[in-house]
Chains A and B, each alone.
Chain A
Amino acid sequence: MDAKQRYTAGVLKYAEMGYWNADYEPKETDILALFRITPQDGVDPQEAAAAVAGESSTATWTVVWTDRLTAADVYRAKAYRVEPVPGNEDQFFAYIAYDIDLFEPGSIANLTASIIGNVFGFKPLKALRLEDMRFPVAYVKTFDGPPTGIVVERERLDKFGRPLLGATTKPKLGLSGRNYGRVVYEALKGGLDFTKDDENINSQPFMHWRDRFLFVMEAVNRASAASGEVKGHYLNVTGATMEDIYERAEFAKELGSVVVMIDLVIGYSAIQSISKWARRNDVILHLHRAGASTYTRQKNHGISFRVIAKWMRLAGVDHIHAGTVVGKLEGDPNTVQGFYNILREPLNPIDLERGLHFEQDWAGMRKVMPVASGGIHAGQMHQLLHYLGEDVVLQFGGGTIGHPDGIQAGATANRVALEAMILARNEGRDIWNEGPAILADAARGCSPLKAALDTWGEVTFDYASTDTADVVPTPTPA
């Protein structure tokens, strides 16, 4: 089609407008996206892919002559590959390339306004999911990334060679500041490295934030003096406005907290703001992915968590909840390992089994510590270490506070189980198969661990995963 025809007023197919190009070779500097599209009946998949490319870049529903005032060929995103999703006849993987100049440097808000801005409500599609993205080094380098990162966090805390241990204070809601600090003190003194505010603990009638911060820091420091270790509590600084968030973060810093926490629901710009604050103030930044499962869990529509993980590494958080495999929340083993690799590796090769469709070079960007939280207990220690590795925070909330002999005993059980498992692994033992025996041995010298195993040893959450990679057969967790 020549230019005169192309720009004649009226409606053209998106593919005809230039948003489909099977011959396009993505440039090293392009931003790439992989969408899972479910076209309406009768809609050609290539046209659907072109429509996604169009609506997430320059297009509108009709031809506009003002395109001719721009280098439109460059600014148009190009769908360059469409392939059926294995095992799902009505779904297709669509690969789309975007020129780097479509995006503001260092802005997740701008990036997402394009990539997920309008297109998810587009009528010719029944459903749409953003499966994966590739960011060129040139774009990665426009972000600061994690303010602390795994290496520096460990060096500050002086904790090496094992996962860190945490617990979320329970009950989530209702404790007064004084009682809340009691839980923190017991858990940290018993052997945990961190305790945590839950996502919905902010400043409620039963406990205002300043009161919580003051009592918690007393607990943290008492536990530190009792153990000789650096301890921390993720003080949730989430608030209604950015001014509130800064005020709370400043107070946490003044009190000497090594870490503060935010919820994903504060939004991408707020996350980037507090990340810069954390970098300026040498405070570790913990992110709770509150709300994420509303759009990450179903495979046909929404955003894969692997994309959220990439955005958050760029935006700059130090911790992010990324699944447990064995606990109470969604988590296929391979899919979760894909998330962990995104957060922790210097470079992600293509790994379809783990849902990684692109090579991603992180160009020296610091690593994010994944957090495993939700329905895990000491009896799963060998499985947790097997699936999740060493650079992870294992958070046992109920599995600490619900211990029959009290919170300190619960914390000690977890710490002893962890150290015994690391010792055994390093000695070359097969922890996957010998795990229960290793724990039983350790429990002989540690009655809190024995009580924990007696209480929870058999508890499992064995349900089919909803979010699995549709590329190769997916193993179920053992």
Chain B
Amino acid sequence: MRITQGTFSFLPDLTDEQISAQIEYCLEQGWAVSIEHTDDPHPRNTYWDMFGQPMFDLRDAAGVMSEVASARATFPDAYIKVNAFDATRGFETVRLSFIVNRPAHEPGFALIREEAAGRAIRYTIRSYAVERPEGERYP
């Protein structure tokens, strides 16, 4: 399966040129770009690991792209995303977030059902990958 989190996951994987254009857009808006990675892509895993601090003072797309390259080299089999953070009053949140690296094989998720009273079901989503320890999930 293909995990479709992030703004552009229904499109073919973005080329570096396309990624760079998106970063350029974010920087023009005055947003701070950051990079995060994980090997636990559960839809409610909010806190992916930060690959360094948000780059508040880096205003150059080429500089961000070299960080993306470095993240890919360090975690080639991980999910890596680029986030853009807007500190404007009324937002103070992420404005764009898209995946720039994913494992070659994505095993997907099991839906665990616990039958409860009155036909209700308690649902749990579990990634097949997390059955192995962190760091060993996408060999």
> Inside 8 A of B25's CB, which chain A residues have their CB?
426-428
> Inside 8 A of B96's CB, which chain A residues have their CB?
160-161, 426
Smallest Cβ-Cβ distance to A415: which chain B residue? B10
- Interface digits, A394-433 against B, CB 8 Å rule (1 contact, 0 not)? 0000000000000000001001100110110011100000
> Inside 8 A of B12's CB, which chain A residues have their CB?
445
Smallest Cβ-Cβ distance to B124: which chain A residue? A221
B63 at interface, CB cutoff 8 A? no
A464 at interface, CB cutoff 8 A? no
CB atoms of A227 and B21 under 8 A apart: no
Smallest Cβ-Cβ distance to B41: which chain A residue? A228
> Inside 8 A of A222's CB, which chain B residues have their CB?
111
CB atoms of B10 and A228 under 8 A apart: no
CB atoms of B89 and A346 under 8 A apart: yes
- Kindly identify, within residues 10 to 50 of chain A, every residue whose CB is under 8 Å from any CB belonging to chain B: none
CB atoms of B95 and A160 under 8 A apart: yes
- Shortest distance from the beta carbon of A151 to any chain B beta carbon, whole Å: 5
B interface residue count range (under 10 / 10 to 19 / 20 to 34 / 35 or more): 35 or more
CB atoms of A256 and B93 under 8 A apart: no
- Shortest distance from the beta carbon of A267 to any chain B beta carbon, whole Å: 30
> Inside 8 A of B135's CB, which chain A residues have their CB?
none
- Shortest distance from the beta carbon of A235 to any chain B beta carbon, whole Å: 14
A243 at interface, CB cutoff 8 A? no
Smallest Cβ-Cβ distance to A425: which chain B residue? B25
> Inside 8 A of B41's CB, which chain A residues have their CB?
228
CB atoms of B44 and A230 under 8 A apart: yes
A155 at interface, CB cutoff 8 A? yes
A74 at interface, CB cutoff 8 A? no
* Contact of B3 (CB < 8 Å), options: A214, A228, A255, A346: A228
Interface size for A (C-beta < 8 A) is: 37
Determine the distance from Cα of A423 to Cα of B109 in the docked complex, in whole angstroms: 28
* Contact of A217 (CB < 8 Å), options: B4, B7, B123: B123
> Inside 8 A of A412's CB, which chain B residues have their CB?
10
B74 at interface, CB cutoff 8 A? no
> Inside 8 A of B43's CB, which chain A residues have their CB?
158, 224, 228-230
- Shortest distance from the beta carbon of B52 to any chain A beta carbon, whole Å: 20
B56 at interface, CB cutoff 8 A? no
- Kindly identify, within residues 316 to 356 of chain A, every residue whose CB is under 8 Å from any CB belonging to chain B: 346
CB atoms of A221 and B93 under 8 A apart: no
- Interface digits, B88-111 against A, CB 8 Å rule (1 contact, 0 not)? 011111111110000000001111
CB atoms of A162 and B7 under 8 A apart: yes
> Inside 8 A of A416's CB, which chain B residues have their CB?
10-11
Q: Which B positions have Cβ atoms within 8 angstroms of A?
A: 1, 3-5, 7-12, 14, 18, 21-22, 25, 41-44, 46, 83-84, 89-98, 108-111, 119-123, 125
Question: Can you pick out 13 interface pairs between chain A and chain B where the beta carbons lie within 8 Å of each other?
Answer: A158-B44, A160-B7, A161-B96, A214-B121, A227-B1, A228-B4, A256-B123, A346-B89, A416-B10, A426-B25, A427-B18, A428-B25, A442-B11
